[in-house]
A = this chain, B = another copy of it.
Amino acid sequence: MSTTGPAALPQPVLVRGTGLLGTSIGLALRGRGVEVLLHDPSPAALAVAQDIGAGRAVDLEGAPAGDDADTPVPGTVVVATPPDVAGRVAVDSLVRWPEAVVMDIASVKASVQAEVRAAVGNGPLTEADASRYVGTHPMAGRERSGPVAARGTLFTAAPWVVCAEEGTSAAAVAAAEALAGSTGATVHTMDAGEHDASVALISHLPQVAASLVASRLQETPAASLALAGNGLRDTTRIAASDPQLWVQILAGNAARLVEILHGVRADLDRLIGTLEAPDAPGARLDIARLIAEGNAGQARIPGKHGAPPQAFAVVTVVVDDAPGQIAAVLQATGDAGVNVEDLRMDHASGHEVGMLEISVLPGRREELAAALTERGWKVV
């Protein structure tokens, strides 16, 4: 039995599902010396995950009790399957290993929780079995999927929600928190309903909005799109998401999302009515109200490191599209002793230059602009 890794995390840890997230969890835990077993219905995915060092592949067939040497009894099972089968695999795991903590990582929690609850009584589980289940959601991802894209550092500084329900055992919650913490994530504790309501607003609504906007661009003439700036790019960036994954996420959280979308539709209807008679009395006030309400909501989004929202000052520098240019600007910024709070490139159509937008504390803005100008940079 391994003796490294956090004491609250029963080992070995079995990861069921070696996609991007499952494999990344394996890599992160192996990096902390935790004993990790891997399983996936796809032999190819499983082999890749083992080859890159995420843990040891095991065969679950013929080993329901898991008590032979090849398949040790897991102390913790991480269900890292696609979301639509997470509930079924969680129940299966609770049945197979009657002592193990079982956690899943699906991005919607109440439906998985409900599937586990439904298996109690009439189903194969006792109340004690169900108490070993804990729903979690690591809020991390990459633009690529599959075990090849996995990284042990994927969860560094990412939020990882652990859903402690009334019936969840303290040991299960402690194991989930220990596992999440081991990967470098920040643990947030809330119940499944609170989690699902939160992600409906901060993740599923933005996805729907981005898709709705981007969808309108399908027939747009290229000359119009050539005028696109960062406003459009930012608003639609997540519209590039995977349809198969998002079908499962949106359908899994349908009730909570639909409630929010009714509110959006009411606002949209009001705006359409106003824009159909833009010179009617009160019309301008109505439009201003929508934008002002957006101001108020946007201002509540926390800033860097979860700090209160803070208005940074932006220094914009013109940089050529050549290696080393951005580094040189930031080198000069570091030499001036000014910390970079945020950073982005603003790309313009048709020019071989870019704008580097450096966010700094407001009190440092003029100092940095002067320092960069003095070094010959073109500060906009």
A-to-B contact residues, CB < 8 Å: 139, 142-143, 151, 153-154, 156-159, 161, 186, 188, 190, 194, 197-199, 201-203, 205-218, 220-229, 231-244, 246-247, 250-251, 254-255, 257-258, 260-265, 267-269, 271-272, 275-276, 278-279, 283-284, 287-306, 314, 316, 318, 321-328, 330-335, 337-340, 342-345, 347-356, 378-380
Asked if residues B188 and A297 are in contact (CB atoms below 8 Å), the reply is no
Number of copies: 2
Give the docked Cα–Cα distance between A156 and B265 (Å).
Answer: 39
Determine the chain B residues whose CB is within 8 A of the CB of A338 once the complex forms: 323
In the complex, which residue of chain B has the Cβ closest to the Cβ of A293? B215
Give the docked Cα–Cα distance between A326 and B332 (Å).
Answer: 11
Determine the chain B residues whose CB is within 8 A of the CB of A314 once the complex forms: 142-143
Closest 5 CB pairs of A and B: A324-B334, A211-B294, A306-B349, A327-B330, A157-B351
Determine the chain B residues whose CB is within 8 A of the CB of A267 once the complex forms: 212, 215
Q: How far is the CB of A226 from chain B (nearest CB, A)?
A: 6
In the complex, which residue of chain B has the Cβ closest to the Cβ of A137? B227
Determine the chain B residues whose CB is within 8 A of the CB of A305 once the complex forms: 321, 347-352
Q: How far is the CB of A216 from chain B (nearest CB, A)?
A: 6
Determine the chain B residues whose CB is within 8 A of the CB of A324 once the complex forms: 330-331, 333-335
Give the docked Cα–Cα distance between A123 and B260 (Å).
Answer: 51
Across the interface, A283 reaches (CB within 8 A) one of B235, B251, B328, B351, namely B251
Asked if residues A236 and B298 are in contact (CB atoms below 8 Å), the reply is yes
Across the interface, A139 reaches (CB within 8 A) one of B153, B229, B234, namely B229
Asked if residues B276 and A268 are in contact (CB atoms below 8 Å), the reply is no
In the complex, which residue of chain B has the Cβ closest to the Cβ of A303? B347
Task: Show 5 A/B contacts (Cβ-Cβ < 8 Å), sorted by A.
Answer: A188-B223, A234-B238, A250-B278, A327-B330, A342-B347
